[in-house]
Structure 1
Amino acid sequence: MNATDLIRKYLDIWNERDATAREALMESVLTPDSVYIDPDYAGLRGHAELSETIGRIQQNFGDLRFTLGTVIGAHHDRALFTWRLGTVATGYDVAEFAGDRIRSVVGFFA
């Protein structure tokens, strides 16, 4: 799986509203010790913390969905990409890969 495909699957995690299905996606996309960081969260570690947080955040999303903007660049074990949340938010993320999974994501809001 290439970096773009893996990033799309990562965004699918954020769009999945069913916790069981979301956790199954996490198993295939994220390493067990994965870390997520953005301006609001200083470091969510592992699948359970991230899934719980996504579930809470989704209550504010309504029908909004994350979509991939552009993979700006990918090299070695990292990629920089843009995303959109409907028409209300955009951002940049840096993903770090470990083999065929994502080890960490650092997000920035635009």
Structure 2
Amino acid sequence: MRDLKELKVWERSHKLCLLIYDATKEFPSEEKFGIISQIRRASSSVPTNISEGCGHDSSKEFARYLRIASGSISEVEYLLILSNDLDYLNEKQASDLLNQTIQIRKMLYNLVKAIAQ
């Protein structure tokens, strides 16, 4: 069993999730059941799946949950692009969040690759 709090990718994905919750507070109220809900679910899915994977003993199971987290971070990336295109985020916010998203995706990819060896 792994300690999720020791994984930098978990820490970064948790912080990104908090930032997304904060940023979406400013989105239009008509998006409450649309983009707000979807991007919050996707962003929370990343650290959640990393956490769930940590609870499994096998590296194969851990890698499977990391791949699920990778899918979720890709969903977050698209929803940030959409939010930016709809002018729900300012350019700096969008750029910062997208950069963090890309870094987390790379970290997940590299961790899966390291586990698979």
Q: What TM-score do you get using the length of structure 2 for normalisation? A: 0.27
* Larger RCO (CA within 8 A; separation ≥ 6): 2
Q: What TM-score do you get using the length of structure 1 for normalisation? A: 0.28
Larger strand fraction of residues:
1
Larger helix fraction of residues:
2
Larger radius of gyration: 2
